[in-house]
A and B are shown apart, each in its own frame.
Chain A
């Protein structure tokens, strides 16, 4: 009888350890001037340095150092006054040099923490995740395994290498072990990666696109009998490529390991690969034999020794923490929790804020972005922000506020902008979407409506105000929806002696 998640958690305490790799968004690579553009033709962003050709020498990208220090500061780390690069030696064709330039025992940032909030059965609870280190390295090339049936390395006849990605600055953020999360372990893992992503985005140091691999998470999970206080053998699930997958990978590993332990089997220390479709993991490389990378200080690079003044200068530029910003905006905009969460989950907080800063009412800005625009974006399977800009949305909201557009017309304007018909004003002009606000034009329509429904008009004259709806509807229809309904109502009631 297989244990389900709840049973697994009742019998075992999970311990986590998370390693996150972040590709920095510098223009050029870590040690050479090659471009870092995503999706370029294979091997068009390579040079003698990142191809490891004899005689080439690396030169450190100063912006990458700056970004790494900013990350460390945002994660409450100490910035090492002296740090060095090291060669991590291994034979695998994803690095043409036969080593990866990384950092070993002298990382640039150490001993930080990140607090994450989780909704628990006892209300909101803060979990502090201790950060062991933040170190700099370079990304590896991309392999394509050809032959065999699975596209996997096993059974492949040969492999094809694209080194465009080799040498892109990479920062690895490693937590200390994360104990005592109990059944919330998967949620804590997800919340940590989410918070980290938001921080990195606010720092502007990375695109943090998990689906493109610019943010990748390796999740270490181990189990020990409940209450034993021991540390079990861990597995490491590699390259989990979405926030949801982080949560699923951890819960999946907890279930798998619990079932093995329950059956008296042991956990093998190994790398596992997350399978997106099933939410399960499959075994990869066994790590039972300690790896031997023969690290040694990189002789072609001089040490990095940031002075206190530089660190303080960078610290002064740190943006507001995303968690604090969310709390502030929630109060300023008077947004309910659930709505706030929807905005964050839809990754529209920045966009809504930008729209509000352009003068829009927060509630209106939020409902346009999360409502109509998100709906159209879902239909087209693209991001809302790729369809329309905050400036355009703010313009539409301003036109509604000034009475020049009704909500209904505004939706047509937004639709027009999204269909590429130009700016809101151009769509209004081209489609003739102007609110009919000319009183005399409206009066003609109102009189026509009264003439066609004399009995309704009589009831209104007699004091039955709700009956006005039918006549307002007729006027709106007659004007093709371009009249301001409130204005029509006002004129109609006045005309019938009820104004």
Chain B
């Protein structure tokens, strides 16, 4: 039984806005399956005494003081944008109904 189905890969590619052809989906589904299989073996090694972690360092409560530091200028902020207008980032028509 594979860890990830072709349908799930198609769903992920849709979420990630990456267009994939049928053959790419076939290829990636089997490739991802191998990767997930490898990760699953790591999970087997981690016993109940190893808590799941989201960060490599055993740190918590790392905070910065609430102090304002200089921002970029608007020109600097917009310098990497493909398009801008009225000192704002200009983006193509937002398709779909998401708001």
Chain A residues close to B by CB (< 8 Å): 26-28, 32-35, 41-48, 51, 53, 59-65, 82, 84, 89-93, 96, 143-145, 153-154, 156-163, 271, 284-286, 292, 294, 296-299, 301-306
Contacts and interface: CB of A to CB of B under 8 A. Distances in A.
Contact of A93 (B57, B73, B77, B94): B94
Interface of chain A, main secondary structure: loop
Closest 8 CB pairs between A and B?
A33-B69, A62-B63, A297-B54, A63-B66, A160-B88, A161-B89, A59-B64, A43-B74
B71 interface: yes
A60 B87 contact: no
Given A44-B74, A46-B72, A160-B88, A292 B15 contact: yes
Nearest to A106: B54
A161 B81 CA distance: 11
A285 B99 contact: yes
A157 B93 contact: yes
A494 B58 CA distance: 90
A90 B94 CA distance: 13
Contact of B55 (A89, A143, A301): A301
B38 interface: no
B59 interface: yes
A296 B66 CA distance: 26
Interface residues of B, number: 38
Contacts of B97: 153-154, 284-286
Contacts of A286: 97
17 contacts: A34-B69, A42-B86, A44-B71, A44-B73, A44-B74, A61-B64, A62-B63, A64-B66, A89-B15, A153-B97, A161-B91, A285-B97, A285-B99, A286-B97, A303-B60, A304-B61, A306-B61
B89 A163 contact: yes
A158 B69 contact: no
A158 B84 CA distance: 11
Nearest to B17: A91
B63 A84 contact: no
B47 interface: no
B71 A46 contact: yes
Interface string B40-75: 000000000000001101011111111111111110
Contacts of A292: 11, 15
Contact of B77 (A32, A89, A163, A301): A163
Contact of A302 (B55, B65, B92): B55
B54 A160 contact: no
Interface centre among B55, B59, B86, B99, by most chain A C-beta atoms within 10 angstroms, is B99
Nearest to A46: B77
B39 interface: no
A46 B88 CA distance: 12
Given A43-B77, A302-B60, A303-B60, A156 B93 contact: yes
A84 B61 CA distance: 10
B54 A84 contact: yes
A285 B98 contact: yes
B17 A27 contact: no
Interface string B10-54: 010001010000000000000000000000000000000000001
Given A62-B66, A153-B94, A298-B54, A43 B89 contact: yes
B77 A61 contact: no
A160 B83 CA distance: 10
A47 B71 contact: yes
B3 to A, nearest CB: 17
B98 to A, nearest CB: 5
Contact of B61 (A47, A161, A296, A305): A305
A95 to B, nearest CB: 12
Given A46-B71, A297-B54, A92 B94 contact: yes
Contacts of B77: 43-44, 46, 51, 163
B85 interface: yes
A271 B99 CA distance: 9
B4 interface: no
B74 A42 contact: yes
B60 A160 contact: no
A304 B66 contact: no
Contacts of A34: 68-69, 71
A28 B69 contact: yes
B78 interface: yes
Contacts of A306: 61
A251 to B, nearest CB: 24
A88 to B, nearest CB: 12
B89 to A, nearest CB: 4
Contacts of A143: 94
Nearest to A160: B88
Nearest to B14: A292
Contacts of A303: 54-55, 60-61
A84 B99 CA distance: 26
B91 A93 contact: yes
Contacts of B86: 42, 144, 160
Given A34-B69, A299-B54, A43 B88 contact: yes
Contact of A161 (B15, B71, B80, B88): B88
Given A41-B74, A41-B87, A143-B94, 16 more contacts: A28-B68, A35-B68, A35-B71, A42-B86, A43-B87, A47-B69, A64-B66, A82-B60, A84-B54, A153-B97, A161-B89, A284-B99, A285-B97, A294-B15, A302-B61, A302-B62
Contacts of B67: 27-28, 33
A60 B63 contact: yes
